[in-house]
Structure 1
Amino acid sequence: MRFKVKIIGLIAMVGLFVLYRSIEKLDIYTSTDSYCINCHVHTSADHSWELSSHYSTDSIKRTACVDCHLPPKKSIDYWPQKIKAGTRDLYSYYFKDHFKINWAEKSEIENAVRFTPKESCINCHENLFPFSLSDKGEKAHLYYRRNENELHCINCHIGVGHGQHRAIYGQNTSLLKKTRLDSMALFTEANKITGFKNFKEQIPGSDVSFDMIAIPAGEFEKAIYHNNKFNSKPLVRKKIQLSPFFMAKVELTWDAYLVFLRDVESEGREQTQALDSLETDVISGATPPWGDPAQGWGMGQRPAISMTWQAANTYCKWLSKKTGKTYRLPTEAEWEYACRANSDLQDNWTDEEMANRIIFRDNSKGKTHLPEGMKANAFGLVNMLGNVKEFCSDWYADNPFENDSFVVNPEGPETGVERVIKGGSYRSEKKDMRVDYRENTQHDNWLKTDPQMPKSIWWYSDCRDVGFRLVCEWDGDKEKQ
């Protein structure tokens, strides 16, 4: 009997040893980069990895897929996460249409943090304060230490695993450098307004121009809903009356914004030196952004993004001085009136009609689009809904009109903390593509991962879908402006 027990025990031990070695061999085999790439449905994952600093390392060992996308082997979560990841990838490989997956959206920071355990970063980069760390890097890592529960390593270092090896990880001073232009092609003066009609503005000293649309006086009924719950009774309905004004046909482009940046370039102005008054004679220039504010999508005629409300407001003051007109951000009421354009908007639009007018999550492929080919509204304005959210001049309040029954040219509350933004963006869902959908800026949250100290008042580090559209005031008493 004892002999049988010993034999069974020996067989069990051998079986366990074989099982252990088999699992170990299986783990090694399924942890190779070639195995991951063999069935990974993300078609450019291997190529972007080969361009990254995790591929071209300073040591003889490259950072492998499992080093970043699974917890360390010593972690209790290693095997559960490996099984989960393998099952997910195999299912996607055999049952999903790879070409319909929005890879740009999947690569955004909100999704990337789900597939990159922070403990894996720390496992390789245990010392956050090496002797080679710059002063700015030290300040950034100190900020991370104080906010570890809210931040992930890839909030700042998202490009190190899949991205350009020479990507910008610092102040992008090249963005502010002046470029030589053919003086014969430069505008010497702004266009004159000769009547209340559409006109083309041209920025003196540049070759940039843009269309301004005449928006006639009128009125509309504005409804305010609690937390954008449109199936409930509105908090208030108000008749809004507006005077005529001009509004830019498209959202401000990078071409137009770069003229401003390079004209007033600044290499380190402190927050306390910011412009805060129309009477100030000197326009306070923006400091360089951290990294690429265009997210690698290109600039040109794409809408400018990543700037703060302060920066957008300063641009309007700068352009006013350049052109001799009064440019500013639209009020919320002006924006909504211009977006409505005396029509029913998208209530009766087909899916095809909506796709021809609005850039949103379903058709954006995770990035902003050029305005070309998009259908304008009845006033002639393009991308009022979608593409990028747009700053308004108003302070945000849940119910800004609760004490008024009929409002003429409202400018919003006198004070506040955040500003109104309208229109939705390329990241917004279809249900949020409504003219009465209201949002507000989140200034502090949008600067969480800015490694600069003090934090920039000119560039958001954590907001990449807000821009702005210009309004030019019309003085009907003047024959020319």
Structure 2
Amino acid sequence: MLLFSLPSLAKEDASFYLKQASQAYNQGNYRKAEEAFRHLVKMKVNLHEDFYYFYGKTLYHNGQYQKAADNLNTYTETVGSKNKYYRDAKRLLLRSEKKLAKKNHPESQKSSASQQRTSTKESRSVKNKESLTKNESLTKNESSTKKEPLTDRKSSTKKKPSTVKKSTASKPPIPKMKKLPSGRFTMGTNHGADDQRPPHKVSLKKAFAIGQYEVTFAQYDAYTNATGKKQADDLGWGRGNRPVINVTLKNAQDYARWLSKKTGRTFRLPTEAEWEYVARTGVKAQLGFKDLLGLGDANCDDCRYFWQSDSTVEVGEYEANKYGVYDLFGNVWEWTCSIYTKKYYGQEKVCADNRRLLGKTIAVRGGGWDSFSATLKSYVRYNNFPNYSSHDLGFRLVEELK
């Protein structure tokens, strides 16, 4: 990630612009990031291959699709397909090309459409002339009888789109969900802390869907704007596609209930068992997609590169697990709906009764941006009181499938 060798004379200036670009990028200030990246290009230092990925992504966010495509193409051709950002670079490259295609061909589409309209008008006028020459009186009678129904049709077609617009405008942004099959897996371990024991078989009898990403500020803000509830504090890090933070258990549950009511679907927080099932991806791995988290594998205290800021990052920045679910480890801890117990007694399989939470704590999973990689394992547990909120705590949703 943006690591490269620098000539000794240019090292100080280049480091300054690298740090400036990194901070702006992490804050979502892509204009400022682009400016700093341009300075690095002008300095003609030896750029690390990952530079082209981040520069291309920045340009994409700024709507400069041709330059974005050029940089992303340089990146994909330079690195191998096993590089951690390769798939995302290919995805962004494809999107840039699609954007360029739309941008370059609107006139031809408009001209072809106008040609079709003129040709249909001409054919209609010819037909009308022919019908008038055949029988003028008959045409007048038919036109007088047909005027009224045509007006009704026009008015009815006008009314329908306006109704559709109103209903779509009121629809909230729905988190992307990944469907998972039912299954059986071993939960817990004999090699960890006491609260991670004993390892035991858990059966999930019904298929369910889980959020592909943690719930973002953009999605949560739609809820607070619609209901008048207090917005969650982003601490100045940025909103948009960053995971929502500083939310209590009730905040997360209220959002799930609101979304369920708005969509007619059933959303809730995952149980501890459901969360670990997704994190393990149905295999015996500690993490779900790798045995150890290294530099650049997640957003955690000792996983970040030196230039990255100590904060959350946008969801989906790192590799997904085998189910296609992102950020299960690092970025933010995630609320579950299960009561935390010091050993497994079955509470991990169900959602807690909110009427019986006095003195109880709720299990949270996954680790945050300020956690160390040693704690980012599928079986590691932590707990918070229901009214607790923090700069490293968010949530993702589960959907019950019918």
Under a length normalisation based on structure 2, what TM-score does the superposition of the two structures give? 0.52
Say if 2:157 is the partner of 1:230: no
1: CA distance between counterparts of 2:286 and 2:166?
Answer: 37
SS at match of 1:221: strand
Structure 1 pair 307/373, CA: closer, same or farther in 2 (3 Å)?
A: closer
Name the SS for the 1:240 alignment partner: strand
- Of the candidates 385, 388, 396, which is equivalent to residue 469 of structure 1? 396
| Structure 2 counterpart of 1:252 | 215
Give the 5 Å matches for 1:278-317.
286-287=229-230, 293-317=233-257
Aligned mates of 2:313, 2:163 — CA distance in 1: 31
CA RMSD of aligned residues (A): 3.2
Matching residue's letter, 1:399? K
Query: Structure 1 residue 236: deviation in Å?
Result: 1.5
Aligned residue for 2:337, secondary structure, equals strand
TM-aligned CA distance change 1:288 to 1:413, over 3 Å: closer
Comparing 216-225 with 383-392, greater Cα deviation is found at 216-225
**2:311 counterpart residue number:** 367
Provide the residue aligned with 1:425 in structure 2: 368
Preserved CA contact (<8 Å) 2:287 2:378? no
8 Å CA contact 1:400, 1:412 repeated in 2: no
2:269, 2:298 → 1: CA distance? 21
Q: Deviations over 1:286-321 (max 9, x none)?
A: 3456xxx10111000000000111000010000000
Distance 1:328 1:232, change over 3 A: closer
Higher helix share: 2
**Identity rate of aligned residues, in percent?**
27
Residue 171 of structure 2 contacts residue 263 of structure 2 at CA under 8 Å; is this kept in 1? no
| In 2, Cα distance between equivalents of 1:432 and 1:318 | 33
The answer to whether residue 167 in structure 2 is matched with residue 188 in structure 1 is yes
CA change 1:240–1:350 in 2 (3 A) is: closer
Contact 2:289 2:321 in 1 (8 A): no
Alignment partner, residue 328 of structure 2: 384
Question: Alpha-carbon deviation of 1:429?
Answer: 0.6
Q: What's 1:411 paired with? A: 350
Q: Report SS of the residue matched to 1:337.
A: helix
Deviation at 1:338, TM superposition (A): 0.7
Matched-pair contact (CA < 8 Å) for 2:245–2:392: yes
CA displacement at 1:378 relative to structure 2: 0.4
On the 8 A contact 2:195/2:342 being kept in 1, the answer is no
Matched, 1:438 2:381: yes
Q: Is the 8 A contact 2:332 2:367 kept in 1?
A: yes
Shift of 1:342: 1.8
The equivalent position to 1:320 in structure 2, one of 256, 260, 280, is: 260
2:175 aligned residue: 210
Q: 1:310 to 1:347 in 2, by over 3 A?
A: closer
**For residues 43-58 of structure 1, what are the structure 2 equivalents within 5 Å?**
none
The answer to whether the Cα contact below 8 Å between 1:356 and 1:375 also exists between their aligned partners in 2 is no
Distance 1:247 1:375 in 2: 17
Return the alpha-carbon distance in structure 2 between the equivalents of residues 470 and 347 of structure 1: 19
Q: Which amino acid aligns with 1:327?
A: F
CA deviation map 1:186-209 (0-9, x unaligned) = 7835xxxxxxxxxxxxxx625734
- What's the secondary structure of 1:241's corresponding residue? strand
1:115-134 aligned within 5 A: none
The 5 A counterparts of 1:338-357 are 338-343=278-283, 344-346=285-287, 349=290, 354-357=294-297
Cα offset for 1:372? 3.9
Structure 2 Cα separation of the partners of residues 300 and 323 of structure 1: 21
**1:160-185 CA deviation, whole Å, 9 max, x = no partner?**
xxxxxxxxxxxxxxxxxxxxxxx999
Q: Deviations over 1:183-241 (max 9, x none)?
A: 9997835xxxxxxxxxxxxxx6257343210011111111267xxx7177963221001
Kindly tell me: are residues 216 and 260 of structure 1, through their superposed partners in 2, closer, same or farther at Cα, counting changes over 3 Å? same
CA distance in 2, matches of 1:342, 1:212: 18
| One-letter code aligned to 1:259 | A
Q: Deviations over 1:341-365 (max 9, x none)?
A: 12325489487x7445421112163
Confirm or deny: 8 A CA contact 1:307 1:467 kept in the other structure.
Answer: yes
1:393 aligns with 2:337: yes
| 1:264 maps to which of 224, 227, 252 | 227
Letter matched to residue 438 of structure 1: R
How many residue pairs end up in the alignment? 233
Q: Is the contact made by 2:195 and 2:341 (CA closer than 8 Å) also made in structure 1?
A: no
Query: What is the deviation of 1:366?
Result: 1.2
Q: Which residue among 250, 266, 273 is the counterpart of 1:333? A: 273
How many Å separate the matches in 2 of 1:304 and 1:438? 21
Determine the C-alpha separation between the residues in 2 that align with 1:400 and 1:303.
29
Give matches, 1:1-12, under 5 Å: none
* SS of equivalent to 2:215: coil
**Shift, 1:262, TM fit:** 0.7
Q: What TM-score does the superposition give when structure 1 sets the normalisation length?
A: 0.44
